[in-house]
Structure 1
Amino acid sequence: MDTGTWPRAAARRELDAAGVQPHLRPAYQRCRVLNAAHGRTYFLATRLLAPAQRPAVHALYGFARWVDDIVDDTDESRTVRDRQQAVDQLDDKLRAGLRAGNSEHPILAALVDTVARHHIDPTLFTDFMASMRMDLTVRSYPTRAALDAYIHGSAAVIGLQLLPVFGTVCPAGEAEPYAAALGGAFQLTNFLRDVGEDLDRGRVYLPLEELAVFGVDQERLVWCREAGRPDLPVRRALADQVARTRSKYRAAEPGIALLAPWSRPCVRTAFTLYGEILDRIVESGYDVFRRRLAVSGPRRLEVAAGALGAVVAARLLSRRTNV
């Protein structure tokens, strides 16, 4: 399936259900394409939400992926300063749009509309942009605390942005720590899967002091990348990082029950599939240096199909409650 060209009718139904105004629809469409192209698991999970919820999720994820592309631009003609200026200009436009409650920008228009509709805290985007700026200059993180500070802005805030869209069965403040933890767990999973690709960019997103316990440093990781395989110390270090990430999933899991029933299947699907990326890493012998490990397409569809029953039940319950 071509993730860049989804049926227009499906997208139109979502926008109709959400009541998105005609002048904003092109921006939401662009965000939807960005989400589909960059986040296969996230996009698939989003299909389990009610149609009226989906445009907001696309706007939030699409924006995040777009900024990430600016920061990670591999065009050698664009210097760090060029990318810094692009991020600064975008941040200025974002702040102006959030203050005004609207934007003419072809992508920010959807994001600003989503923030206003769902009363999302604007400071979450300040934190996000701060972490994106870190990616321009920071190449490694010496401690877990330093990495957590980055993850707060790059991932935990995404969970917090989505929470008003998903809805909760409790005061939102009770669910926020779990939403932030799950965003962090997803990010840590990406870091483990993408060790090789990140090394190619000169980055290491694993705490150096924790790697050092196993005799591993950045130079050793680079050697494994060049050799195309992990050695024993690196496998032990990565096993430790997988165990730490699994503990993050365990801490986040109780929060799924705090979400509105019609949102739980989406989040549970993402929770399951991202957790299985860790399984693929372990099954490969921690070989994150030759290829990007992923859950297979058939397995993703299997998990999503299994969640459909819960989706139908939640929507029927919602209709009965609202009668």
Structure 2
Amino acid sequence: MLQLPNHSRVKPLASLEDAYELCRQITAKYSKTFYLGTMLMPEEKRRAIWAIYVWCRRTDELVDGPRASLTTPETLDLWERQLESIFAGHALEDADVALVDTLERFPIDIQPFRDMIAGQRMDLYRSRYETYEDLELYCYRVAGTVGLMSLAVMGVDDSLPTAPWAQSNRSSIDPTEQAIALGVANQLTNILRDVGEDARRGRIYLPLEELALFNYSEADLFNGVVDERWRELMRFQIQRARKVFATAESGISALSPDARFPVWAALILYRGILDVIERNDYDVFSKRAYVSGPRKLTCLPIARLRAMVL
């Protein structure tokens, strides 16, 4: 997976088309809901998002993947040097070919990529978060950064509306904060969905002071206890995640017109996972919360309407 530059490599890197196709296949396989949203984008933008997604996934797998036990701080140092090579226009692996091309087409800054690697460093030595503020920093690094990367691809609508009352509203919107909020909201949703899976790996991402607030212990969590304490704790967590999604919503109208529909769709679909958790009576230990295919299709007309009128 992760390689040092190998100047004696015999096999050539993938062609540009094959590299993008590889990224498409990986996105479609591992993030079906996200992939559906990308298919609503113009071709150039969706291909760029696939390239970014695959880099992010590969980064995440260094700590959470099948070979995570072999990852050290030096591994992440090497990964960051490979990132610098990509930004310099030099691909080292097949998927890098697509990302190099994406960086040539869109003005993406390297800092969110560095911040994401910093988030993986947190996972190397932390398996608990005492406060929400601690967790929020982690969520920014591993997911809010994705919002920043994607914003450069989505683009901002610089056109001014003709109505004077609309001009002042539009000009005051900078969607950067909202882009970060969408990434953070998605990560909070992931955390709530994956409580059981993370517990099996010895990790707790829910803030410990909030567990204590609801008199729910680490032992209860590791034993998968679903009682009224747990339900109240999860209601509290879901309410906060929905507030962060609401913050993200306020920036969508500032995006380029061709990006609004897919972003609305992705937001509605991902937020739908919270609804499923509620319908499962907050049992995230034995039930996987996911949005069904038919329900995904019913969300699309709503997303289209919101993209047109909001």
Fold conserved (TM > 0.5)?
Answer: yes
SS at match of 1:142: coil
**Alpha-carbon contact 1:45-1:266 (below 8 Å) kept:** yes
Which residue pairs with 2:11 in the alignment? none
Residues 236-247 of structure 1 mapped to structure 2, 5 A cutoff? 236-247=232-243
- CA 1:244–1:26 in 2, change beyond 3 Å: closer, same or farther? same
The equivalent position to 2:69 in structure 1, one of 79, 99, 111, is 79
Pair 1:138-2:126 in alignment: yes
| Alpha-carbon separation, structure 2, partners of 1:242 and 1:307 | 21
| Alpha-carbon separation, structure 1, partners of 2:118 and 2:28 | 25
Aligned-residue sequence identity (percent) comes to 38
Instruction: Please give the TM-score of this superposition, normalised by the length of structure 2.
Output: 0.85
**Alpha-carbon contact 1:94-1:108 (below 8 Å) kept:** no
| Alpha-carbon separation, structure 1, partners of 2:96 and 2:173 | 27
| Alpha-carbon separation, structure 2, partners of 1:183 and 1:310 | 20
| Alpha-carbon separation, structure 2, partners of 1:308 and 1:272 | 11
Which residue pairs with 1:29 in the alignment? 21
Which residue pairs with 1:46 in the alignment? 38
Deviation digits for residues 149-204 of structure 1 (CA, Å, limit 9, x no counterpart): 11111011100111121111148981100100111101101110110001111111
Deviation digits for residues 284-322 of structure 1 (CA, Å, limit 9, x no counterpart): 1111010211111111123236656888x89xxxxxxxx
TM superposition shift of 1:62:
1.3
| Alpha-carbon separation, structure 2, partners of 1:217 and 1:74 | 29
SS at match of 1:286: coil
**Alpha-carbon contact 2:173-2:251 (below 8 Å) kept:** no
| Alpha-carbon separation, structure 2, partners of 1:41 and 1:176 | 23
**Alpha-carbon contact 1:48-1:308 (below 8 Å) kept:** no
**Alpha-carbon contact 2:144-2:180 (below 8 Å) kept:** yes
**Alpha-carbon contact 2:280-2:287 (below 8 Å) kept:** no
**Alpha-carbon contact 1:34-1:66 (below 8 Å) kept:** no
The equivalent position to 2:54 in structure 1, one of 62, 72, 94, is 62
| Alpha-carbon separation, structure 2, partners of 1:269 and 1:24 | 28
TM superposition shift of 1:144:
1.0
| Alpha-carbon separation, structure 2, partners of 1:282 and 1:120 | 37
| Alpha-carbon separation, structure 2, partners of 1:216 and 1:309 | 42
| Alpha-carbon separation, structure 1, partners of 2:305 and 2:177 | 28
SS at match of 2:180: helix
TM superposition shift of 1:84:
4.4
Instruction: Please give the TM-score of this superposition, normalised by the length of structure 1.
Output: 0.82
**Alpha-carbon contact 1:45-1:304 (below 8 Å) kept:** no
| Alpha-carbon separation, structure 1, partners of 2:302 and 2:39 | 13
1:245 maps to a residue whose letter is A
| Alpha-carbon separation, structure 2, partners of 1:104 and 1:54 | 22
TM superposition shift of 1:23:
3.1
Which residue pairs with 2:186 in the alignment? 186
User: Structure 1 residue runs of 4+, over 4 Å off?
Assistant: 170-173, 305-311
The equivalent position to 2:283 in structure 1, one of 287, 296, 317, is 287
**Number of residues of Structure 1 aligned to a counterpart in Structure 2:** 284
SS at match of 1:107: helix
1:24 maps to a residue whose letter is L
Residues 1-323 of structure 1 mapped to structure 2, 5 A cutoff? 23-74=15-66, 79-80=69-70, 82=71, 84-98=73-87, 100-170=88-158, 174-224=174-224, 229-304=225-300, 307=303
| Alpha-carbon separation, structure 2, partners of 1:301 and 1:157 | 28
| Alpha-carbon separation, structure 2, partners of 1:85 and 1:196 | 30
| Alpha-carbon separation, structure 1, partners of 2:240 and 2:304 | 31
**Alpha-carbon contact 2:130-2:207 (below 8 Å) kept:** yes
| Alpha-carbon separation, structure 1, partners of 2:108 and 2:86 | 14
SS at match of 2:175: helix
| Alpha-carbon separation, structure 2, partners of 1:60 and 1:83 | 23
**Alpha-carbon contact 1:27-1:107 (below 8 Å) kept:** yes
- CA 1:299–1:83 in 2, change beyond 3 Å: closer, same or farther? farther
SS at match of 2:120: helix
SS at match of 1:48: coil
**Alpha-carbon contact 1:71-1:87 (below 8 Å) kept:** no
